[in-house]
Structure 1
Amino acid sequence: MLGSAMHPIRRFMGAPKYDDGFNSVRRRSANGGVLPSTRAISNKIFAEASIPPFDPKYNHFLMQFGQWIAHDIISTPLATGPTGALLDCTKCESEEITANCAPIEVPEDDSFFPAKTVDGKKACIRLTRAINGQQGLGPRQQINQNSHFLDLSQVYGSTDCVAKSLRTLQDGMMKVHTAQGYTLPPQATNSSNCQSAPTYPCFSAGDARSSLHPGLIPMHTLYLRQHNKWAGQIKVLNPLWNDEKIYQETRRLMIALYQSHIYSEYLSKIIGQQKMQQFALNPSGRSNTYDPRINPSVSVEFCSGAFRFGQSQARKDVPRRTNQNVSIGATIDLGQHIFYTDPIYDKTATVSSMMQGMVNCPGMAVDRQFSFPMRNEMFSKRGQKASGVDLPAFNVQRGREKGIQPYNEVRVSLPSMHSRRIWIRQPLI
């Protein structure tokens, strides 16, 4: 069952680092002092420069493909109330009510988020902790509700139930929405996250975050269209095959294509060709080097630390371009479209123009700077300033609430990590 859905995320560093050694969010430093607010850290370290640092070597699609991979292998469910209701972790005192809240204090000198609530109390940025998946005695543990493998679970789901709900159950085909005149993923009319519904419904996919922002929907559409194209071709070649046979064969080929893209095109740009060769990651022939003795589960250090480097690559917008690389319409502001899908229903902003925009426009450099929407407007509501969250501050707070060992302790324990550059990239392999 190692690496299967709804199983624990492992730890490279062994025991977690909680303040009480068991459950509480880490708020003390190595010398016993109080750790600063992660929003204060974000303001001092992660703020974007006046001239945003674009990377001329790589396009915006590199970032988007990285997030595509993350949504395949990482999905940590959040804690809920006794009846499954969402927790209200917006107030600073919420952590005193439940151990499943870890709000982030807003500094007094913050230039975007108000430091005080309307009733004069200390203000915080909301954060709900990851659900405690520990089944017996022992420290708090996190689980992954997606499979840990590169298996396109963001397209097909990580359970049989989800997989079946996305199929037409005829000729191996997947469900689609075509009312706009072109193919999109099927609509999710009951999505609780969707902020543009019911006028502009969000979409269903193997992963619940498919409509998180407009740059993700073209990815889901692309793979969905390719699946149905190949399923149709396989049906012609094998007319006696039933739905299940066609579906599984198409799915197998789609996963192979996806893995080829990762190892042949994506990974070498992230860790470099030297590391690709050192760890024998370059595809060669049809060799199968799978070893059942190795635990394939993703680690908490990777999913909540190392692999979040890609968030610094995210632009503040999704450009739109034609096939001739000519701008079409307005760019799509990232901060104003978290779980808003209205651009997808605009026929001048088709998924094709968004994909062309990501391919033909540069992404941001991999550095400590994050674009304005990433630091101030994630999950915000339109027209309501400071209704969102700070994603890099979230990342640091996630490390504390999940008990990830401090950075320097990780460096000491992994001798190959001689620099910040290797720390960011080594855990990928």
Structure 2
Amino acid sequence: ISNEILSIVANITGCVPLYNPPPCTNTCRDVKYRLITGACNNRNHPSWGASNTVLSRWLPPQYEDGISEPKGWNTDFLYNNFSLPPVREITNRIIHATNTAGQEESLYSHIIIEWGQYIDHDVAFTPQSVNKVKRIQGADCHCTTTNQDSCFPIKISTNDSLSQSGCVPFYRSLAACGTGDQSAIFGIPSITSPREQINALTSFIDASTVYGSTASVENKLRNHSSEEGLLKVNLQYSDHGREYMPFVDDMPSPCIQDPNAANDDRVECFFAGETRSNEVITLVAMHTLWVREHNRVAKSLKKLNPHWSSETTYQETRKIVGALHQIITIRDYIPKILGPSAFQKYVGNYQGYNENINPSISNIFSTAAFRFGHATIPPLIHRLDSTYREHPQYPSLLLHEVFFRPWRIIREGGLDPLIRGLLGKPAKLQTQQEIMTEELTEKLLVLSNNGSMDLASLNLQRGRDHGLPGYNDWREFCGLPRLNSSLDMHIAISDENITRKMIAMYGHPDNIDVWLGGLAEDLIPGGRTGPLFACLIGMQIGALRDGDWFWYENPNVFTPKQKQELEKHSLSRVICDNTGLTHTPPDSFLMAKYPEGFASCDNIPGMSLEAWKENLEEGESCGRPKKIENGDFVYCSQTLLIYFCYPGYRLEGPEKLSCQGNQWKTTQPPFCKDIDECSNLSSPPCHSSATCRNTLGSYKCICTDPYELAEDKRTCVDSGKLPRASIASIILVALLFLSWAAICWFLVCRGRKISFKTTADSNPGDDLKKSSIKIDCSTCDRMSLPLYPSMPLESQMVNSSI
């Protein structure tokens, strides 16, 4: 099917066109540095691990119609002769725990949770259906209580605190074009191509949280005016001289504002490589740390290698920062989650790159297994002073008080109190009795919803939306015994209270949602998950490592000396280098008591960037060639470089430049020409609901009133506001009425003494009301114009009888 037809289908149905990677090139730039989209990591399978590709399936999906309808879609559909219980009821009876009920973790600090969430946002994001899309079909999920189109509302009781309407809105994940209901349009039998969901991010652990997963996002994040390969920073605020991330371009942003600040004193959402960076201020802190680390490393590398171009400095820094994400994750984080036995079984020691392993994120990992961390989030966000006591000026906050509130960082002490709280306070221990705090089951804030949400119910509903097989199917997949009765349940879940509740609600162990079953299992020795999630997480992490050509341990990526230096680094070192903290635990994830468990930053090991210094021998360098506008170059060797253009531009002229006789040999340097993206009819950048306008190096999708751009910045959705033309009409009518009133006032006051009567008919059942006014010219300066003509006349004339 052609790209043009694919685009038309996507515009009509709302499905997501899958990323079609361009042919893989063998330029030194593309071989040396990973593409921002993740494409061409595997030259035989260029889409493996790339952004905007399908989540991989380790087991076939289970939809009620075999094609698209999620579990629980049809109320009369039975599973082992039982209906699936409503997800909100599962939350209330099994998952919900009060804020005071949770048990503190004895081994691990709060920051281990934040790293898990941060890395999850580095490898996976499944976009949801857009609300109120300006297209041929599509229900508004805010206004429906029935399962239709992209709406799969969460049913609740009428007295539930979340909503009084009997349901909570839920948007299904976007379907990949050519799957599910749309597959027949592509000539594919639906039964052979059930609904699939996409991963909008690169699957690899590559610091896409810092740099983005598309060329356009990366381009917006970079400071192209810098010769040091820096990322943009906030020009309005700083953290005691340290950098904040820039704000988003679209203002006003949806982030919640300080209620005590003036209306024009806003703190907007931060702009990062991943769109969820503002969800909670601790996540903002993690993102900010790595933007600072990038700029710190880039400045140091440029000093060591002044001949490097801005692009070389940027790409080498990006490569280092990505490697640090990998090291901290696989060396310091994952072994603590899986425990030593499961880590060795499913991950093990590095054996080298394996081109036959697909590193793409699996649906089960993204939608269930790696969401285990939600059960380890405590209800409080602590902010501590330099002695690791409660901060006298910035006290601790409940979780719901820090959702989408970046102003709390800028106006309440910056990163340091938050980082101390993450290091100095424990995580919540995942237990079978108190699975998830009420801050997440009753007070979760989602900007697309008007009220509070329940994260546990969202997780369960998302698993059904994606057609995830049940708990027992996944146990069998991992080589674990199936649990066929309530007695069998005790093999995996020792708490009789929770097994009794689960059987009472689900009827049979096969019916149990995999996310709940995995959470409820007894923790494995030395780990923080049960055996099922240890298997699923371990398998995915192993695939992310072994199927990544750019994994830091691959001998082709770093020199032995560089690899040795990288492995000296740690999250504690990153914190020391980028905050005002002078002491940290040697391992940030381990719970330590201050001050005896903390070490001076002077004694926290770190990498030496001298391993990246290039020593140019005299006579071997031609010096730096001239940089081209809207582009740059990368050295392939000391005698060869490659020119390229920034996104939105196309290179015109020779791509390669060689050094001969201490001179760069060129007849005419290349230049970068603007690309008119809007002329691309086969793959238009904007949804058909929007108008595309070309700009220099980019484009804009524009909506007609009363529509506005959705979160994808390419689709027009109903703004819910009156059209500007309607507003103008209202203003015009109001002005005409005021003019009429002014004329009447002038004519009335021309007489010496005039009286008149007005009579207003009452509504049925009301007494007839009459008003009488006498107006004298001497009183005209005290007469008010009728600003509210729709109100009963007597209401406007109170105390006006003269």
Whole-angstrom CA distance in 2 between matches of 1:401 and 1:367 = 26
Is the 1:335–1:378 Cα contact (8 Å) retained in structure 2? yes
* Residues 1:428 and 2:480 are matched in the alignment: no
* 3-state DSSP of counterpart to 1:364: strand
Whole-angstrom CA distance in 2 between matches of 1:376 and 1:88 = 24
Whole-angstrom CA distance in 2 between matches of 1:400 and 1:276 = 29
Is the 1:3–1:298 Cα contact (8 Å) retained in structure 2? yes
Over 3 Å counting, the alpha-carbon distance change for 1:87 and 1:152 in structure 2 is farther
* Residues 1:248 and 2:323 are matched in the alignment: no
CA deviation after TM superposition for structure 1 residue 189, in Å: 4.1
The root-mean-square deviation of aligned C-alpha atoms, in Å, is 2.3
Whole-angstrom CA distance in 2 between matches of 1:403 and 1:280 = 27
Whole-angstrom CA distance in 1 between matches of 2:110 and 2:140 = 34
Whole-angstrom CA distance in 1 between matches of 2:138 and 2:299 = 42
Which of these residues, 21, 27, 43, is aligned with residue 92 of structure 2?
Answer: 43
Aligned to 1:120: none
Aligned residue type for 1:8: V
Whole-angstrom CA distance in 2 between matches of 1:279 and 1:406 = 22
Whole-angstrom CA distance in 2 between matches of 1:317 and 1:91 = 34
Q: Per-residue displacement from partner, 1:42-67 (whole Å, max 9, x unpaired)?
A: 00111115522111211111111000
Q: Name which structure has the greater RCO, CA cutoff 8 Å, separation 6+.
A: 1
* 3-state DSSP of counterpart to 1:24: coil
Q: Per-residue displacement from partner, 1:28-80 (whole Å, max 9, x unpaired)?
A: 44224321210000001111155221112111111110000110011101112
Q: Per-residue displacement from partner, 1:84-134 (whole Å, max 9, x unpaired)?
A: 8997423453523xx211110113564x334x43xxxxx111110100114
Aligned to 1:142: 197
Percent sequence identity is: 28
Aligned to 1:13: 59
Q: Per-residue displacement from partner, 1:282-329 (whole Å, max 9, x unpaired)?
A: 5xxxx6612111111111111111110101111222111133212212
Aligned to 2:712: none
Is the 1:79–1:130 Cα contact (8 Å) retained in structure 2? yes
1:354-369 superposed matches below 5 A: 354-368=418-432, 369=435
Whole-angstrom CA distance in 2 between matches of 1:324 and 1:159 = 42
Aligned to 1:326: 389
Q: Per-residue displacement from partner, 1:236-279 (whole Å, max 9, x unpaired)?
A: 00001011000000000111111110111101110011222234
Whole-angstrom CA distance in 2 between matches of 1:258 and 1:207 = 15
Aligned residue type for 1:71: H
Over 3 Å counting, the alpha-carbon distance change for 1:380 and 1:279 in structure 2 is closer
Is the 1:92–1:105 Cα contact (8 Å) retained in structure 2? no
1:376-391 superposed matches below 5 A: 376-379=442-445, 387-391=451-455
Whole-angstrom CA distance in 1 between matches of 2:431 and 2:235 = 40
* Residues 1:294 and 2:357 are matched in the alignment: yes
CA deviation after TM superposition for structure 1 residue 149, in Å: 0.6
Whole-angstrom CA distance in 2 between matches of 1:18 and 1:392 = 21
Whole-angstrom CA distance in 2 between matches of 1:131 and 1:276 = 33
Over 3 Å counting, the alpha-carbon distance change for 1:87 and 1:278 in structure 2 is same
Is the 2:365–2:536 Cα contact (8 Å) retained in structure 1? yes
* 3-state DSSP of counterpart to 1:216: helix
* Bigger proportion of residues as strand: 2
Structure index of larger Rg:
2
Aligned to 1:93: 145
Whole-angstrom CA distance in 2 between matches of 1:244 and 1:376 = 47
Aligned to 2:247: 187
CA deviation after TM superposition for structure 1 residue 411, in Å: 1.4
Which of these residues, 353, 356, 377, is aligned with residue 417 of structure 2?
Answer: 353
Q: Is there any run of 5+ residues in structure 1 with no aligned partner, and where?
A: 118-122
Aligned to 2:441: 375
CA deviation after TM superposition for structure 1 residue 344, in Å: 1.4
State the number of aligned residues.
411
Is the 2:155–2:167 Cα contact (8 Å) retained in structure 1? yes
1:135-284 superposed matches below 5 A: 135=178, 136=183, 137=188, 138-169=193-224, 170=226, 171-182=228-239, 183-190=243-250, 193-196=254-257, 199-281=266-348
* 3-state DSSP of counterpart to 1:303: helix
Is the 1:2–1:296 Cα contact (8 Å) retained in structure 2? yes
CA deviation after TM superposition for structure 1 residue 417, in Å: 6.9
Aligned residue type for 2:375: S
* 3-state DSSP of counterpart to 2:173: coil
Whole-angstrom CA distance in 1 between matches of 2:462 and 2:531 = 21
Whole-angstrom CA distance in 2 between matches of 1:326 and 1:402 = 45
* 3-state DSSP of counterpart to 2:445: coil
Is the 1:79–1:87 Cα contact (8 Å) retained in structure 2? no
Aligned to 2:20: none
* 3-state DSSP of counterpart to 1:227: helix
Over 3 Å counting, the alpha-carbon distance change for 1:108 and 1:20 in structure 2 is same
Aligned to 1:59: 109
Whole-angstrom CA distance in 1 between matches of 2:134 and 2:481 = 44
* 3-state DSSP of counterpart to 2:318: helix
> TM (normalized to structure 1)?
0.90
Whole-angstrom CA distance in 1 between matches of 2:532 and 2:344 = 18
Whole-angstrom CA distance in 1 between matches of 2:95 and 2:143 = 24
Whole-angstrom CA distance in 2 between matches of 1:417 and 1:395 = 25
Whole-angstrom CA distance in 2 between matches of 1:316 and 1:73 = 26
Whole-angstrom CA distance in 2 between matches of 1:236 and 1:5 = 34
Over 3 Å counting, the alpha-carbon distance change for 1:165 and 1:107 in structure 2 is same
Aligned residue type for 1:184: Y
Whole-angstrom CA distance in 2 between matches of 1:90 and 1:402 = 21
Over 3 Å counting, the alpha-carbon distance change for 1:87 and 1:207 in structure 2 is farther
> TM (normalized to structure 2)?
0.49
